[in-house]
Chains A and B, each alone.
Chain A
Amino acid sequence: MRERGSPIVEVTGVRKCYNHRWALEGVDLVVARGELYGVIGPDGSGKSSLLKAIAGVQTFDCGSIKVFGLTVASEQEAERIKARVGFLPQGVGASLYQELSVEENIDVFADLRSMPLEVLAKRKAWLLNVTRLDRFRDRSTKHLSGGMKQKLGLICALIHEPELVILDEPTTGIDPVSRQELWAILSELLYEKGMTALVSTSYMDEAERFHRLSFLSNGKVLIAGTPEAVRTSVTGFVATFETTAPASAGVRLKQTFGQVEAAGRRVRVFVGIGDREEVRRSMEVIAGEFGGSSIAVEEPELEDVVVSLLARSGGEEQRPEVSSQGALYDREEVAMQANGLTRDFGNFRAVDGVSFRVRSGEVFGLLGANGAGKTTVIKMLTGLLAPTAGTGLVAGVDMKTAARSIRERIGYVSQAFSLYLDLTVAENIQFFAGIYGLDRQTAAARGREIVAMAGLSGYEARLAGQLPMGLRQRLALGCALVHDPRVLFLDEPTAGVDPLGRRRFWDLLAMLARERGVAILITTHHLNEAERCDRLALMDAGRIVAEGTPEELKREVRQEAGALFEVVVDQPSRAVACLRRSGFPNVSLYGATIRLLCGNPDDDLSRLRRELAYGGIGVSSIRERPLSLEDVFVYRIKSLERQAQSSRQPVNA
């Protein structure tokens, strides 16, 4: 890696308050020249306030910010840095003018900075080429996909070749393929132009892409450093094993360990004490009790570390009550069924022939980017929207024509929770009980049950609007459960919740499915949390591109495309170029490392070492990394694109 230069950004003790609420409570941060620096945290953790303050487009209350060694404390001072900074605000296409074409948008940005026209023409051509947007020069921005809008936003933020780019959640809400592309473009541009970048994200799985990062939680830095340093800041290992009784195993493990997750038949536990061998031995003992097999002990992921830190620092949150008895329901009963569901909006096909089945006691995930059609599928299943073709059945009945008594057997948590923020927790629950026609006594009893289950005891008199996001989300779930539905629809319920809160939410869902036999359909664009679904379907542009258990999906890709390897080299940018020249197809720059898929690891890796050595690039380590669902998603969509192209070619020829 290139030598770290003088600091580009120095943030000391910055605080920011909106209407008596602290968004930043004393943040320190230093970004060195040439770094790709990450600010990670859930919605509302203060990322945007910090980035806007550094970009000089919003005030802060205390502390100091220096950019390029210049203080940014007043409007006049902030003006001094703006020629050298590029800023991309949060929100897909937020910085762009939707009525203008792609090229017109770029021109506005360039004109606003009085760029010489020859320079503009050259850079514009180059950037449009790199981002593969040149075919869309004249297209109106409002007709671009989310991924294309973000790429255009990036072009516009970079058109004046700033020394520092500040990008606020550039990858939130766009499809995984565009996300990978955006990162690849960004990493390569930074190397090529020697820019420094400060990037925020709410996706934990993007953390490894940064040279260094800070994890923000409630306006404070929870931990900062290189991904490696963060990962090793907490000692311990992650052990996984498969068992036929994951729920009981989970309960047993929770007696000893804090962080236990059960997904499908796999149990995953973070063990904070002992060395690798000790952990393996103790796991073998416990796994033995539950007929466990294929025990693995691995280094913890970044998310495990953050969750453990959050659990340590927090403590204000109560845990939901997750007990366990054995499963006592018929898992074969089909609770939801989509048969070739299709929906058109004018000329636009939002959902295209979607079919799947969800059984009682199953958590089924519907994954995809914003606009992939997830919400439309839910609306058709719940009878809120009529399908153009196909049928959606819940408990064997079409919800559009079903009797009221059957319709009341479903629960629905919408994208923006349907809570009343100026009612208290108890009042919200009572209100929903009233809507579903529960009598006073039942309502009171259910209310107590739900408060206990959702871990809301002691918060009954608090206004819903004053709850932290994690609790608010559990309250929304509780309200949807007030009439004890057999089928539950959750539309992006975890947006804005920190990793710890998300894990607790999933524990609750697992309990509902395992113990009460509730069939759950959940949508999310956090691909890593979808690992906890029993089965899932990947959606892209209205179609399902893959379906199965998370393990199945990964195994299939591993068989078809090979294993994922991470290579640590001294000159990553050159190494990527060198490997692409020598015919490695799936190589990408990933933070300061390189990742690639190898179908035949033995041959491929030795060839890789040869090529890199020939190119004068030093390799310090090569190790296999587990495939993520995102890798699966990207691979599936790209192979679909390839198929479409090859089937089109004979026609053209």
Chain B
Amino acid sequence: MTIRRLAAVAKKEWKETVRNRLFLLMAFLLPPLWMVVFGYGLVLDVERVPFAVVDRDRSPLSRDYVYRFIESRYFDYRGTIQDEREIEGLLGKTAIRLAIIVSEGFQGRLSAGRPTTVQILLDGSFPLHADITKSYVLAINRAFSRDLLTDFLVRTRGMTRDEASRLLEPVTVETRYLYNEEVRGTWSIVPALIMFALMVSPPILTALGMVREKETGSIYTMYGSTASKGDILLGKLAPYCAISMINVVVLWATAVWLFDVPFKGNVVVFFVASVLFVLCSTGMGLVVSLLVRTQMAALIITIIIAMVPTILYSGLLVPVSSLGLGARLQAHAFPAMYYTDVVRASFLKRFSLHTLWLDILALAGFAGAILLLAHRLFTKRPNA
């Protein structure tokens, strides 16, 4: 292996990539674009649910009830409707996802000490979404009922509000969210998107870079030269690793400044893990490129190999610990999961090496294995 030969391959590869508009876009625009698009689009938080109200009672108490929804950050008040028949149309065109119908005599029945019902209509197209909305509604409703009861106790029994509360709810739950104190979806998803962006663009770029040479025939320049297999493979890999590391910095900055995700971990640990992961992802592209002959085949196979495990089994959307046994095994067989661990931890937790060393070791193992595999597969004297 000589530095000059390796550098010759790397320099040539770099020039080819940055001078080709398509490759240039794929190298530098695609990864941040992924992050922005998915960062805004993939957030699963249910907030600002649009809703409308039919208030048949029009009493101070009914207004008080509705007001609790209007005030909440989970709901977005779109107006009061006079005619109940309009509701279906609004739900149908998704102008609202929830309608609250307060029946006549709401205040009257409550004042008389009789129970009453409020009807809610929910858009059930997305069951998860509907369930979460329902739980918000129930929580607000329960709080309203409890407040009524508290008022009643205060009025009739001469208790203080605190005493009345304790009587009504002897056991209370004290919740504190760790790491992501505000339980924001973006904080969880955006760091994982760094992994996603690095798993898609770099392998495609690397695979196309190699197969492009097979298609044009310039690969024979490599085969016919005195450069060693190591020179050629590392020379091919180096520029794509460099491009990917630039992307790591850009993505990190996007996460911190655009999405306001805090970075609490250790920068060195994060970057070491990133280098190892980039070696894995570009290496996977390289391995694919050694097995196929056309750019089309390289593109399709790389996308399948890179995307499927990344989306399903990396912990991007669903925590690996809650996957089934089969899926969990698959998750452990790809490097994406380990890097997701490191990235999430680096952003949200203050831990560093002593908890993440196993992940980093795994990444290093994958990188080494993939590069060895590429070296085994590559030959300067192929069969066809």
B184 on interface, CB distance cutoff 8 Å: no
Known: A82-B226, A97-B218, A108-B8. A59 touches B15 (CB 8 A): no
For chain A, residues 82 to 103, give those with C-beta under 8 angstroms from any C-beta of chain B: 82-83, 85-87, 89-91, 94-100
Bound complex: CA of A74 vs CA of B8, how far in Å? 26
A181 on interface, CB distance cutoff 8 Å: no
Bound complex: CA of A100 vs CA of B16, how far in Å? 7
CB closest chain-A residue, reference B235: A112
**Segment touching B, from A50-58, A262-270, A556-564, A605-613:** A50-58
CB closest chain-A residue, reference B2: A114
Q: Are A111 and B7 in contact (CB under 8 A)?
A: yes
Q: Are B380 and A57 in contact (CB under 8 A)?
A: yes
CB closest chain-B residue, reference A110: B8
For chain B, residues 218 to 238, give those with C-beta under 8 angstroms from any C-beta of chain A: 218, 220-227
Contacts of A156 in B (CB 8 A): 221
Q: Are A95 and B4 in contact (CB under 8 A)?
A: no
Known: A95-B217, A96-B218. A114 touches B379 (CB 8 A): no
B383 on interface, CB distance cutoff 8 Å: yes
**Distance to closest chain A CB from B11 (angstroms):** 8
Bound complex: CA of A520 vs CA of B246, how far in Å? 59
**CB < 8 Å neighbour of B15 from A78, A83, A89, A99:** A99
**Distance to closest chain B CB from A173 (angstroms):** 13
A552 on interface, CB distance cutoff 8 Å: no
Q: Are B226 and A94 in contact (CB under 8 A)?
A: no
B89 on interface, CB distance cutoff 8 Å: no
Q: Are A109 and B5 in contact (CB under 8 A)?
A: no
For chain A, residues 103 to 148, give those with C-beta under 8 angstroms from any C-beta of chain B: 104, 107-109, 111-114, 140
Bound complex: CA of A97 vs CA of B4, how far in Å? 18
Contacts of B85 in A (CB 8 A): none
Bound complex: CA of A107 vs CA of B9, how far in Å? 11
Known: A89-B217, A94-B217. A111 touches B15 (CB 8 A): no
Q: Are A114 and B226 in contact (CB under 8 A)?
A: yes
Q: Are B383 and A85 in contact (CB under 8 A)?
A: no
Bound complex: CA of A97 vs CA of B16, how far in Å? 8
CB closest chain-A residue, reference B231: A112
For chain B, residues 345 to 384, give those with C-beta under 8 angstroms from any C-beta of chain A: 379-384
Contacts of A74 in B (CB 8 A): 381
Give the number of chain B interface residues (Cβ < 8 Å): 29
Q: Are B380 and A99 in contact (CB under 8 A)?
A: no
B20 on interface, CB distance cutoff 8 Å: yes
Q: Are A87 and B220 in contact (CB under 8 A)?
A: yes
Q: Are B20 and A56 in contact (CB under 8 A)?
A: no
B114 on interface, CB distance cutoff 8 Å: no
Known: A89-B217, A94-B220. A58 touches B225 (CB 8 A): no
Bound complex: CA of A85 vs CA of B9, how far in Å? 20
Q: Are A113 and B225 in contact (CB under 8 A)?
A: yes
Bound complex: CA of A58 vs CA of B218, how far in Å? 14
**CB < 8 Å neighbour of A104 from B7, B15, B218, B227:** B15
Known: A57-B381, A94-B216. A114 touches B4 (CB 8 A): yes
Q: Are B216 and A99 in contact (CB under 8 A)?
A: no
**Distance to closest chain A CB from B20 (angstroms):** 6
Contacts of B19 in A (CB 8 A): 99, 140
CB closest chain-A residue, reference B23: A99
Contacts of B217 in A (CB 8 A): 89-91, 94-95
**Distance to closest chain A CB from B23 (angstroms):** 9
B109 on interface, CB distance cutoff 8 Å: no
B12 on interface, CB distance cutoff 8 Å: yes
Q: Are B224 and A85 in contact (CB under 8 A)?
A: yes
Q: Are B220 and A78 in contact (CB under 8 A)?
A: no
Q: Are B221 and A112 in contact (CB under 8 A)?
A: yes
**CB < 8 Å neighbour of A89 from B8, B20, B220, B382:** B220
Name the residue in B224, B225, B382, B383 with the highest tally of chain A Cβ atoms < 10 Å from its Cβ: B224
A75 on interface, CB distance cutoff 8 Å: yes
Contacts of A90 in B (CB 8 A): 217
**CB < 8 Å neighbour of A57 from B5, B216, B223, B226:** B223
A18 on interface, CB distance cutoff 8 Å: yes
Q: Are A111 and B8 in contact (CB under 8 A)?
A: yes
A275 on interface, CB distance cutoff 8 Å: no
A604 on interface, CB distance cutoff 8 Å: no
Q: Are A112 and B381 in contact (CB under 8 A)?
A: no
**Distance to closest chain B CB from A16 (angstroms):** 9
Known: A59-B383, A75-B380, A99-B20. A112 touches B8 (CB 8 A): yes
Contact string against B for A residues 53-80, beta-carbon threshold 8 Å, 1 for contact and 0 otherwise: 0011111000000000000001100110
Q: Are B226 and A99 in contact (CB under 8 A)?
A: no
CB closest chain-B residue, reference A162: B224
Q: Are A56 and B381 in contact (CB under 8 A)?
A: yes
Contacts of A82 in B (CB 8 A): 224-226
Q: Are B7 and A57 in contact (CB under 8 A)?
A: no
**Distance to closest chain A CB from B210 (angstroms):** 13
Q: Are A58 and B5 in contact (CB under 8 A)?
A: no
Contacts of B218 in A (CB 8 A): 89, 94-97
Q: Are A75 and B381 in contact (CB under 8 A)?
A: yes
Contacts of B7 in A (CB 8 A): 111
**Distance to closest chain B CB from A211 (angstroms):** 24
Contacts of A85 in B (CB 8 A): 224
CB closest chain-B residue, reference A113: B226
Contacts of A91 in B (CB 8 A): 216-217
Bound complex: CA of A75 vs CA of B20, how far in Å? 33
**Distance to closest chain A CB from B2 (angstroms):** 6
Bound complex: CA of A97 vs CA of B17, how far in Å? 11
Contact string against B for A residues 585-623, beta-carbon threshold 8 Å, 1 for contact and 0 otherwise: 000000000000000000000000000000000000000
Contacts of A52 in B (CB 8 A): 220
Q: Are B4 and A55 in contact (CB under 8 A)?
A: no
For chain B, residues 327 to 341, give those with C-beta under 8 angstroms from any C-beta of chain A: none
Contacts of A78 in B (CB 8 A): 380-381
Q: Are A109 and B2 in contact (CB under 8 A)?
A: no
Contact string against B for A residues 11-51, beta-carbon threshold 8 Å, 1 for contact and 0 otherwise: 00000001000000000000000000000000000000000
CB closest chain-A residue, reference B12: A108
CB closest chain-B residue, reference A61: B383
Contacts of B223 in A (CB 8 A): 57
**Distance to closest chain A CB from B294 (angstroms):** 16
**Distance to closest chain B CB from A66 (angstroms):** 16
Name the residue in A52, A55, A95, A112 with the highest tally of chain B Cβ atoms < 10 Å from its Cβ: A112
**CB < 8 Å neighbour of B5 from A83, A95, A104, A112:** A112
Contact string against A for B residues 282-321, beta-carbon threshold 8 Å, 1 for contact and 0 otherwise: 0000000000000000000000000000000000000000
Contacts of A95 in B (CB 8 A): 217-218, 220-221
Contacts of A75 in B (CB 8 A): 379-381
CB closest chain-B residue, reference A57: B223
CB closest chain-B residue, reference A96: B218
Q: Are A114 and B381 in contact (CB under 8 A)?
A: no
Known: A75-B380, A90-B217, A114-B5. A57 touches B224 (CB 8 A): yes
**CB < 8 Å neighbour of B224 from A55, A98, A104, A111:** A55
**Distance to closest chain B CB from A15 (angstroms):** 13
Contacts of B379 in A (CB 8 A): 75
**CB < 8 Å neighbour of A111 from B5, B16, B383:** B5
CB closest chain-B residue, reference A76: B381
Contacts of A108 in B (CB 8 A): 8, 11-12, 221
**CB < 8 Å neighbour of B382 from A58, A111, A112, A140:** A58
Bound complex: CA of A140 vs CA of B15, how far in Å? 12
For chain A, residues 320 to 347, give those with C-beta under 8 angstroms from any C-beta of chain B: none
Q: 27 A-B Cβ contacts within 8 A?
A: A55-B220, A57-B381, A58-B383, A58-B384, A59-B382, A75-B381, A82-B226, A87-B220, A89-B220, A94-B216, A94-B218, A95-B217, A95-B218, A96-B221, A99-B16, A100-B15, A104-B15, A107-B8, A109-B221, A109-B225, A111-B7, A111-B8, A112-B8, A112-B225, A113-B226, A114-B226, A140-B19
**Minimum-distance CB pairs A-B, first 5:** A94-B217, A111-B8, A57-B223, A87-B224, A112-B225
A57-B223, A156-B221 known; 8 new pairs, CB 8 Å cut-off, are A57-B220, A75-B381, A96-B221, A97-B12, A107-B8, A109-B221, A112-B225, A113-B227
